[in-house]
Structure 1
Amino acid sequence: MSEWSLRYTGYAPAEERLREALCTVGNGYLATRGAAPEAAADGTHYPGTYAAGVYNRLRTDVAGTTVENECLVNLPNWLPVTFRIDDGPWFTPDSMELLEYRQYLDLRRALLVRHLRFRDPAGRTTTVTQRRFAHMRFPHVCALETTVAAHDWSGRLEFRSGLDGGVDNSLVERYRDLAGRHLDLVAARELPGTGVLLETATTQSRIPVAMAAGNTVRVDDGRDADAHRLVTDGPWIGHDLAVDVTAGQSVTLEKTVTVYTGRDRAISEPAVEAARWLPRLGPFDTLLESHTLAWAHLWDRFHLDLENRPEELRVIRLHLLHLLQTVSPNTAELDAGVPARGLHGEAYRGHVLWDELFVFPLLNLRLPALTRSLLRYRHRRLPEALQAAREHGYRGAMFPWQSGSDGREESQRLHLNPHSGRWIPDPTRRQHHIGLAIAHNCWQYYQATGDREFLTHHGAEMLIEIARFWSDLATYDRARDRYVIRGVMGPDEFHSGYPDAPGAGVDNNTYTNVLTVWTLLRAAEALEALPDRVRSELVQRLDLRPEELQRWDDISRGMFVPFHDGVPSQFEGYADLAELDWAAYRRRYGDIQRLDRILEAENDDVNRYRVAKQADVLMLFYLFSADELAGLFRRLGYRPAPDTIPRTVDYYLARTTHGSTLSAVVHAWVLARSHRDRAPEFFRHALASDVTDIQGGTTAEGIHLAAMAGSVDLLQRCFAGLQTRDGRLVFNPYWPASLGTLEFTVLYHEHPLHIRVNGRRIDVAAGTGSQRPVEIACRGETALLDPGSTVHFPC
């Protein structure tokens, strides 16, 4: 199988929605699922197009409660194309005898290709080839080409091509009892020639959305369509285009589409722009050529080669493709964040969670301007986070666990347990650690880029306000003579409270407490890094007083961290919980990834047990090196034993269900430092998460962007050991010999670097230029790397 393609053979209706998600084409402005153009949303297919940042809010009465949900809107379907012969039935693969069916996603060009040959009920044999893409250079443009070849028949071939505004959000079965009609029809009209324009608007946010579609039909003998007529049906508008063909001839329909919304910059009005730009587009192949060039430039920045590992390399490239189809240089022009499930479906309602924590390490060293833009999404919503903290009685910024259009908390109040059919309270809004992740992202971006302008105008303010919130949330425990943090949820997500108080949060979550200490230290460091005048102005504007900075220092030296049996406790009281009979539950249910749902259906509660959905304490080993973590513990006055890390990994690995695709990423990371021989096993598990739909149906609802990015980051920052710290590029490799040789490129402080890693050595080569030398370190050895030179380190 090619290292640059994802291929499927045969038509498999049961797998169609998974294929649609994995065959999505996008450009960071919008993305379209890989649904067949002739398909409508039904139990098999689900066409969906989503634009970054286009949300709408609806209310629904559920279980006696009115709930409000904001969703990423499924936009009008621009794909509809089908055909028929001699006024026969319109083509669908389900009604034909399929003789051949192939589909592949060309990863190098982000081009989806579909090829099929069929025999219809009249005995006629026909071949169809389709190609589509969402243009990476011109993000408002999509294109679909359909070629129909007549093998053993002659007759009248008629295409139907249109735009369908009669769509809703109904992909995720768990959400289907919730309101999903997000679009109102504004207008639908014909444009000159064979073009049509569809105008809609979101029902609550009132965002205008306009699509214009143009069609060109050509026979291989040079003739064009000899007839066309307008077809309308409510929110559906298009054309029927007909031509006579003879056996052996082929006919091609080129459909080009422009998409604009009211959130775009530098436009007059979406409908005007969509109609104005449509006739300016060239033919399909010309558009494809410029689209391919734009992708070639991106692949240069994201070059990665894994020697003699073609299958792993193919999946890694697929993951990079979907990352760049979700967030790209086009996204940098928008007010948008990182949607956890990409622009590939409707899971999590398109919300922005903490997944950027796993995404930014790839972007920081390749497209830093994009990271900066995505961090600005958070900074623009800082006022909302400040207000949320005030409403809860705290100073500083309390960022929401789930964010959408305006930065308010979008976590649902109720969620449906598919095992029991019950709507139950959703306490995930207590995951305030999202703010700590944002602080970590700000600092790591600064470390990777040295972007003092960002730190001056955006980063330092966010770091300070996040630190201020956690300082206010911490309280002094006189009996312990330490600071404590009560009533939160950690990354585990299973434990929303104690058995006698579910939903009320837990106390002294180790991950949260330690990351709070780190954030307080970085906020103070960021303040000191600012120019004197800027620092003085910021201190005055934020009313940051010396006694507050002293409190930060006190907390950073006196935060409480619970331990039991020689390992850090996930939270205070974790050791008092019951042990689960793992063998019994595996025998009864097989798949126990979502143990919380299983137990709730049994009228039990996951809060009673020492279990975890995903890494919690172990997230500390993901974020920090052993040296960094040891330094934090020493500052707090704790002296863990030398074998604490491997013991902690073993303890929690035995109690984790891996109910999140992120679990394999984090566990591969920590195992590389404690049980290196097991790390490749979890790395392969991370690679398989979406391509094999390891969670049994969730990928069809949208890809897991953090797991995809995290699997690539395992190669870069975990196995190769690349870190940006203290103004240096640092390598601390844990390279598995079984992976052979890795080559990849990064951009560090404006130096384009080519890095080669294997089990024997690391080579770092810098491109030519006039930049200042950068300092490279590897396990105690340090070298200055000048432009155009190479340094070598033994592993």
Structure 2
Amino acid sequence: MDDAWTLVHDGLDLSREGLREALCTLGNGRFATRGATPEVNGSRTPGTYAAGIYNRLDSVVAGRTVTNEDMVNLPDWLPLTFATPGSEWFRPERVALLAYRHELDLRHGVLVREVRWCDGHGRTTRVRQRRLVSMADPYLAALETTFTAENWSGPMRVRATLDGRVSNRGVARYRGLRGDHLTGHATGAEDGLAWLTARTRCSRVTVALAARIDAGIPGSRPSPAADQVSSEHVLHLACGEPVTIAKIVALTTSRDPTGHDPRSSAVGRVRRAPSFEDLLAGHAAAWERLWRRARLDVDGTRLSRAVHVHVFHLLQTLSPHTAELDVGVPARGLHGEAYRGHVFWDEMFVQPWLSLRFPETSLGLLRYRWRRLPQARAAAREAGYEGAMFPWQSGSEGGEETPTAHLNPASGRWLPDHSRLQRHVGLAIAYNVWQYYLATGSMPPWCAELFLDIARFFASLATLHGDRYEIRGVMGPDEYQAAYPGAATPGLANNAYTNIMTVWLLMHAREIAALAPELVPTAAERARWDDISRRMRVDFHDGVISQFTGYADLLELDWARYRGVRRLDRALEADGDDVNRYKASKQADTLMLCYLLTADELTGILERLGYPVQPGLIPRTVSYYLDRTSHGSTLSAVVHAWVLARSNRAQSWRFFIEALNGDIEDVQGGTTAEGIHLGAMGGTLDLLQRCYLGLELRPDGRLRLDPLLPGRFGVLSMPILHHGRQIFIDADHDEVRVNGVARRTYTPEEVITAGDGDLGRRITRCRERLGLTRELVAERADMSSGYLSYLEEENPGTVDAGALHRLSDALRTTVDELLGGGAGRPAPPGHGRCAMRTAPWRW
């Protein structure tokens, strides 16, 4: 198998099992299961999470009652263990392991485990397991186990279980909080099928699992207990002959749109489910379709593998199945319980990539926000503002789910949490509405309503002080800076990111209103928005943009003392100090402006506000804050790689590699085990397309490409879906090509022609008949080999007409023949028929 498509974990390292489990999570956008071992042992952290299933519990913390809403850890469908004669049930940490390996097949979405062990009687057995969470049928999952006795023959006992004895215990610092979200367990058996149901305590969502065991021989009748149900099977192994058992599982909930009830639905689905091999075939085919749209080619096996890992986990959390659900973008995916499964602002890093490949999924995520518009409007009214105020942490209902206290593991103290003051989450939602419009050319009225209500909120946040509008009492993206030193109340004044992006928001609100005439704001409202967008306050100091008013008065930190410490807030608090006293950032804050806006956009806004932009302002600002950032968030490396791409390519590359390997190598030191960082993964993919490729989407429907690849890149290639048309972009250090044609701009009106699904096969047949390599044909057709590979392998429905004519010449055939021939097929417009050459060819 190509190493670029395989993530391997060799050996058993109990200290890193949590990391491996998170990275080996399998999901389909509806639910996901961590890569925990099927046999129960003390080192595993099982987790199955369904998108949008939350529950609320009260806990007593530091003498007071706090309420937290969590994404619920659902009953465990995985448990399956085995025993050789006279031995205990297999546990990898208790036996003599001869081989132990996990391989995650990223192309097909399959986790493979290979185990070889010797029991206490000298018997050596090989076990191979394959696991999937079906991307074809989002209700099904399966585990296949194949045993091979290498030096013995005899019975192998197997026990399969559905286990409801789970709780939210996946994050150590949350273990002082309640995690017993499930209650009302029931189990049973029906026609040899086992089932288990449970209900969330507060939200009252019923969850059902049903399992079928395919072993070729009858097993014991499932034995129901109060909160688990098991069946035992005896497989007769002959030396050297493999024997297979498969566990097919269905997971349903009371939130599903169809089904009489979850239990009968789960039982019916698992009864009708095909064999493991057929499930695998449909699942692999579904992944193949996803990869056609998500293809992103870079040079080098290690780099390609890391990119594939990011695409893979993004699509396992946010697949086309997600579009049908009422869910947002959980910051840690469906991979663990960190941040309690809440939705923050990570969608801003994820959706620009999705909108150009899976716009229906991106639209579904925007709909999650729109459905919570009434709650956001109520929150704004309650706080004394207009429009819609979205919460920093969102869950099931759209209320503010940010905890009021958090535990500092470095000191063991519970501290106030003021991060709910990050009002800028609304700016992220509006930004994604705009990006969706640029990618698709579509602005549903409800999207315009969402955008305009966010604009109303930020306009009402701005109050006139002297001759400038100010926004006070907020936090920016830098979560270290929550208050002024010694202040009685939290919040900062005139955070530059919030203020400047508010100006951006109000400027674009005019364009959004023009797309939805029935929602046009009043003349007075439009006039005030315009006034704010010309007189918003921004502070400066030392020739750079100030992060907020008063930032210049903060102390400089002794960075040598805290070298390598990513979470300065925790370290300083443990030392009896306060990070609010220092010019120190957790992650990019002011520099987020350079991430979201081009240099021209940023300087244009500052000039609109009447601030003279001195030469070198942006690079000075980048350098200033880079020197004062601890990178305590995985998002920080993404943003810094972006903002340095044009000024310091070597440093940009280092940050990009850190972001790319952030979860794979667990650079934050233990956090990946609690769930992958979805925003950072989406951000690296968006960085490749919009930053390194220089892809700029314009309101007039044009694409502008201005690539500047890092020196270590060879070729960067990808298909995107722009205004309903799939186009292929690839670039190297010399030029950029769209559909095989060198160009810097592209418009949806450009001539392309339709294929019939067999174009790729015809190209391959012609090329092989002539005995030509892809590289040679691509050279003769004046296109990249990546684009030719795309045509041959993906069979696109449309292709650039000019490229098709050049290709027909290179292959000594005609356009009609490549398009399938046949009478009545019109030639691509503007070209006429490309005649078959009769003169000898010279290569």
After TM superposition, the score normalised by the length of structure 2 is: 0.87
CA, structure 1 residues 48+774, in 2 after alignment: closer, same or farther (shift >3 Å)? farther
Q: Which letter maps to 2:211?
A: A
Residue 786 of structure 1, CA deviation: 8.7
Residue 766 of structure 1, CA deviation: 7.7
Match of 1:695 in 2: 668
Cα shift readout 1:619-676 (whole Å, capped 9, x = no counterpart): 0000011111121112111121221111111100000000000000000000012222
Residue 429 of structure 1, CA deviation: 0.2
Residue 449 of structure 1, CA deviation: 0.5
* Distance in 2 between residues matched to 1:754 and 1:50, nearest whole Å: 35
Which residue of 209, 212, 234 corresponds with 2:210?
212
Residue 232 of structure 1, CA deviation: 3.3
Residue 270 of structure 1, CA deviation: 1.1
* 1:506 counterpart = 2:519: no
* Distance in 2 between residues matched to 1:248 and 1:664, nearest whole Å: 51
* Distance in 2 between residues matched to 1:608 and 1:332, nearest whole Å: 44
Match of 1:181 in 2: 180
* Distance in 2 between residues matched to 1:680 and 1:502, nearest whole Å: 42
Residue 771 of structure 1, CA deviation: 6.7
Q: Secondary structure at the match of 1:746?
A: strand
* 1:433 counterpart = 2:446: no
Give 5+ residue unaligned stretches, structure 1. 219-223, 776-784
Match of 1:442 in 2: 433
Q: Where do 1:565-714 residues align within 5 Å?
A: 565-586=542-563, 591-714=564-687
Deviates more, 1:746-755 or 1:734-743: 734-743
* Distance in 1 between residues matched to 2:449 and 2:222, nearest whole Å: 56
* Distance in 2 between residues matched to 1:503 and 1:650, nearest whole Å: 31
Q: Secondary structure at the match of 1:104?
A: strand
Query: How many aligned residue pairs are there?
Result: 752
Q: Which letter maps to 2:717?
A: E
Instruction: Work out whether residues 84 and 119 of structure 2, in 8 Å CA contact, stay in contact via their aligned partners in 1.
Output: no
* 1:120 counterpart = 2:130: no
Instruction: Work out whether residues 443 and 459 of structure 1, in 8 Å CA contact, stay in contact via their aligned partners in 2.
Output: no
Residue 249 of structure 1, CA deviation: 2.7
Q: Secondary structure at the match of 1:198?
A: strand
* Distance in 1 between residues matched to 2:644 and 2:488, nearest whole Å: 32
Match of 1:221 in 2: none
Cα shift readout 1:304-355 (whole Å, capped 9, x = no counterpart): 1112x21011000011000000000011111011100000000000000100
* 1:762 counterpart = 2:736: yes
Give 5+ residue unaligned stretches, structure 2. 742-746, 753-797, 805-843
Match of 1:148 in 2: 147
Match of 2:706 in 1: 732
Residue 18 of structure 1, CA deviation: 0.3
Q: Secondary structure at the match of 2:652?
A: helix
Instruction: Work out whether residues 152 and 248 of structure 1, in 8 Å CA contact, stay in contact via their aligned partners in 2.
Output: yes
Match of 1:236 in 2: 228
Runs of 4+ in 1 over 3 A off after TM superposition: 785-791
Instruction: Work out whether residues 185 and 226 of structure 2, in 8 Å CA contact, stay in contact via their aligned partners in 1.
Output: no
Q: Where do 1:256-267 residues align within 5 Å?
A: 256-267=248-259
Greater strand share, structure number: 1
Match of 1:466 in 2: 454
Q: Which has the larger radius of gyration?
A: 2
* Distance in 1 between residues matched to 2:500 and 2:679, nearest whole Å: 23
Cα shift readout 1:115-154 (whole Å, capped 9, x = no counterpart): 0100011111000000001000100000000111111122
Which residue of 534, 540, 548 corresponds with 1:557?
534
Deviates more, 1:245-254 or 1:469-478: 245-254
Match of 1:742 in 2: 716
Give the share of equivalent positions with the same residue, in percent: 52
Cα shift readout 1:196-249 (whole Å, capped 9, x = no counterpart): 01011101100010010000114xxxxx24x42433332110200113323223
CA, structure 1 residues 175+291, in 2 after alignment: closer, same or farther (shift >3 Å)? same
Residue 291 of structure 1, CA deviation: 0.4
* Distance in 2 between residues matched to 1:132 and 1:470, nearest whole Å: 48
Instruction: Work out whether residues 70 and 404 of structure 1, in 8 Å CA contact, stay in contact via their aligned partners in 2.
Output: yes
* Distance in 2 between residues matched to 1:66 and 1:8, nearest whole Å: 42
* Distance in 2 between residues matched to 1:120 and 1:210, nearest whole Å: 36
* 1:351 counterpart = 2:350: no
Residue 688 of structure 1, CA deviation: 1.3
Q: Which letter maps to 1:426?
A: D
Instruction: Work out whether residues 76 and 165 of structure 1, in 8 Å CA contact, stay in contact via their aligned partners in 2.
Output: yes
Residue 595 of structure 1, CA deviation: 0.2
Residue 87 of structure 1, CA deviation: 4.9
* 1:788 counterpart = 2:762: no
Q: Which letter maps to 1:461?
A: E
Cα shift readout 1:37-64 (whole Å, capped 9, x = no counterpart): 0024x3x210110000000000001012
Residue 160 of structure 1, CA deviation: 0.3
Q: Which letter maps to 1:485?
A: I
Instruction: Work out whether residues 189 and 224 of structure 2, in 8 Å CA contact, stay in contact via their aligned partners in 1.
Output: no
Instruction: Work out whether residues 126 and 149 of structure 2, in 8 Å CA contact, stay in contact via their aligned partners in 1.
Output: yes
Q: Which letter maps to 1:259?
A: L
Q: Which letter maps to 2:635?
A: L
Match of 1:203 in 2: 201
Residue 774 of structure 1, CA deviation: 8.4
Q: Which letter maps to 2:375?
A: E
Q: Which letter maps to 1:575?
A: A
User: CA-atom RMSD, angstroms?
Assistant: 1.7
Match of 1:780 in 2: none
Q: Where do 1:17-416 residues align within 5 Å?
A: 17-40=18-41, 42=42, 44-193=43-192, 195-218=193-216, 224-225=217-218, 227-307=219-299, 309-416=300-407
Instruction: Work out whether residues 693 and 708 of structure 2, in 8 Å CA contact, stay in contact via their aligned partners in 1.
Output: yes
Residue 732 of structure 1, CA deviation: 2.4
Cα shift readout 1:364-418 (whole Å, capped 9, x = no counterpart): 1001011001100000000000000111111110000000000000001110000
* Distance in 2 between residues matched to 1:382 and 1:789, nearest whole Å: 47
Q: Secondary structure at the match of 1:690?
A: coil
Residue 738 of structure 1, CA deviation: 1.5
Q: Secondary structure at the match of 2:654?
A: helix
Q: Which letter maps to 2:479?
A: E
Q: Which letter maps to 1:15?
A: R
* Distance in 2 between residues matched to 1:692 and 1:473, nearest whole Å: 41
Residue 549 of structure 1, CA deviation: 1.3
Cα shift readout 1:598-619 (whole Å, capped 9, x = no counterpart): 1111111100000000000100
Instruction: Work out whether residues 21 and 702 of structure 1, in 8 Å CA contact, stay in contact via their aligned partners in 2.
Output: yes
* Distance in 2 between residues matched to 1:788 and 1:80, nearest whole Å: 55
Instruction: Work out whether residues 765 and 788 of structure 1, in 8 Å CA contact, stay in contact via their aligned partners in 2.
Output: no
Match of 2:6 in 1: 5
Q: Which letter maps to 1:9?
A: D
Q: Secondary structure at the match of 1:339?
A: coil
Cα shift readout 1:718-744 (whole Å, capped 9, x = no counterpart): 111112122211112221132111111
CA, structure 1 residues 364+152, in 2 after alignment: closer, same or farther (shift >3 Å)? same
Q: Secondary structure at the match of 1:463?
A: helix
